[in-house]
Structure 1
Amino acid sequence: MKTIIARILVVFTFLALVAGCKKNDMEYKDPKVSPVDELYAPLENQQVTLSTQPDARLLFQWAPSHAQDGQLVAYEVVFYKESDTTNPVYRITSDNTGKELYANISHLDINRACAAAGIPTGETGTVYWSVASWRGLSSAVCPQKNKLTVKRLEGFEVIPDNVYLTGEASETGDDLSKAILMQKTGEGKFEIYTQLKSQGGYKFVDRTTGTPEVYYINPSGKLADADNNETSSVTETAVYRITIDFTNKGTTMTKITKMGVFFCPENKVILDLDYQGLGVWSGTGIINFKQESWGRDERYKFQMETSAGTKQLGTVNSTDSRPDAGSPASYYYVRLLDQNSQWDDKWKFATEVDGANSTITLTMKGGAPYTHTVKVN
């Protein structure tokens, strides 16, 4: 009996304790986080001229902050207008998904921050930066805010996701629905391998339906808005490689006069490829490997003659093996090489190509990896 009474008392005591707990005591609260107490870099009033180079970055560094529960703190760099250093206009997480005490921020991202702060393209202006510390939903912003003087890129504020070439001088004419997709090669950068006619004009659009944004290459060689239906033109019907850069309005026009298969052992082009249209070259001939003391040498790549000199195209994925039926499509992917050489960035022909009549086709179209095929006839 005494045991039963004791158990009843324990139960009532527990219920009383639970009832005595306030609701707020049962709720989870994010631990507090301290603000960063010092910004290290960039220094106060540092000046930066932005660049469109892919590796152009600026290092931001700061002192650590601490969470109440001793756990890891997450960080983000915050940017402010010169006229309002209270409300951030742009945020970028620090390296390693917010875990690091630094952020290597690309010039393109800094350019976006400056745009959000109202600095016009191509002009110099001021932004302020600081660091926000986070632990769960709790946050704190460093009271120090450093001034950064930035010369912005001269590019467009709005960069399209896709760009197409169209117009009477293009391979598909001025039918917008048939405009040719350009290849995206980087942030705001596009290129196309195509034939242009000397009669008529061509232009660039951001979509193939409705009323697209329209751009052209102006007489100064800069990419510009075609606000008055302007178009660009060429003086010679030929195949061209055209590049356009929305981050700085830069363009290039390179005429391609020859394309061929470069056979590494002989250090020369052994098969000319004729332009078929829409970024495709093709040629047929007998490919003979070169006999060496160690065996048959089958290494090759592509080479073209252009208005900018001799250029080579080679592998995206380095290889030193002959392909077979099980080789992935990526074995044949193609890229324009930074420099010419006899042996670097080459492929190997499949065994059955030796001495056979073969058709080699090079495809440089937008929307898919550049590639090529080798077919034994």
Structure 2
Amino acid sequence: MIKKYINVVLFLFLAFAVGCATKSNMQPEGEWTLSEAELVSPDADATIELDEIFTTESIDFEWKPSVNSADYIIKYAVVLVSDTATSYENPLIEVESNNNGKDITASITHEEIDLALAQACYPKDQVAKVKWGVKAMSLSVVAFSSQPINIKRFSFDPIPNNLYLIGTATEVGNNLAQGIPLKAFKDAEGKMTFFETITQLTKDETYEFVSRLEEPALHYGGENGSIALCGAEITATEDGVFRVGVDLVSNTIKLEKINHLGIVGTPIEGEWSGDVALPYLGNGLFQDTVELLQTGGFVLRIDGDWGRMYKQTPGTTSLLFEPYADAVGLAKEDLQNENVGNYIVSADFLGTSYSYSFEKVEVDIPTPNPIVAPESLFLIPNDGSGAVELVKDNNVFTSNYLALQAAVKYTLNSAADGSGTSYSLLGNIGETEDDPNGDNVYGAPYFKEEAGDISVIRDQAYMLTIDFDAPTVQWQYYNIKLFHWDDNGGWDDRKELPMTYVHPYTFTLENTDLSAGFDSKFFSPWDVEFGVSDAAGSTDDATATTGTTTNKTFVEEGVNVSNFKFTSTDGTYTVSLEITNDYTVGNYTVTQ
């Protein structure tokens, strides 16, 4: 029994080995042959005109199968090669046959073929004389057959989605893989035909533009301000940093030398009459540390020229060259700054970035020693509105909520006329790394006994607590939301609608949809909760669209503060709340 079992196993093993010898291509390659495929369609010397309207239509290729004398697996690929080519090496395009290379058919779209011909510099709207062929492949053996074919290109050249700058004149040299990416801009119709970058060029050296960081790629060159597919490399005529613009509709290239890129506008000294330069650091980056004096709008201006400015796509930090935006009808707006202090300002023109940014310069400030508290302390605005005296309690001075403005500078002084001891902040009021739109926002920069202006980052109603032992200026403000909900089980589906602070002491909500009969209250959880008081003598009215309101936080024990029901119909409303400087009561209006 055992002997019979062993014989069966040996028989199966030998059968398996014989099978492997014929199917796993173990036979030496010199002992079998592979025939060339017989080409069927398209016919030799056929002429095909590519369809530039229906570009996804295909040319179908067909052939008779090759024969492997050892019956090994054969795979196929279709290639297009030049009419002088004698092999399949360096094809214009190569596509695996259908069914993962197993079938004797393949299809290539008209668009793919036109791109391949354009990359090989066959002229548009002309007949390209090429060959189509089939590679039959088995192990490392390739059998190649080809025949001539004539293909008429589209009447236009393809416009690539990407464009890169290379050459000995550039910052990356002739290294194709390291090409400098250009930013592609969409025109008003959404077409990307204009490319731009800012880079450094070297005189008497050459450069060109390519569509890919590897071959095959479209290559662009030219001369005298024109650019052409397969044109000659361009020679740089001078050293410097340039704005390079390429328009593939008008086939033009424009170089604008940049001697100076400057910040002009509200945040800097001199504002719109000033100009703070950002040095070019290479790789498309302009950057420097800048003292930002206030928030507000600004532009980046080239060489002091108001006709050569960068603004931004609205609501973004994406830079947009104003002359181009005007020419193609793109929306734009001034760049925006919300910072005060020393910041690293960057304008990055590399590739798709094309953006600006701010990075706070971190300064390690040691804890100052306590300061001797004066007998009195005043916050003095420079707009002439009058000094505000703070209330002293030992070495701490406090204020009510003060309506401070970003456009006004302030000083701290022990005398109302500014003739006493001065104090300045090592920071700014309202400056925070937390969300400035949070419910309860606060900070506590150090201060010192030294004259200096105090800046406010944003308009708000601030309470100040100035502690001479710390020594810090603690500031705090509230943001208020209108809560709006259906009191019949709708609290979880409530609307929390942020209101906008408007100087002085006012919060507004404009053009907002509200529902009839819903409950409402003005809320900054949980310190501020304006509603309807039932205290004796209160004038609060839950259904009135104009009236008074009371902060629940400050009512006496036994007094209830309920919600408003001031929306009698569904509609779009504007809501306004004006608070007192101690946040105890307020006045509101609700209008449709």
Q: TM-score, normalised by structure 1?
A: 0.48
Q: Flag the structure with larger Rg.
A: 2
Q: TM-score, normalised by structure 2?
A: 0.31
By relative contact order (CA 8 Å, sep 6+), the higher-ranking structure is 1
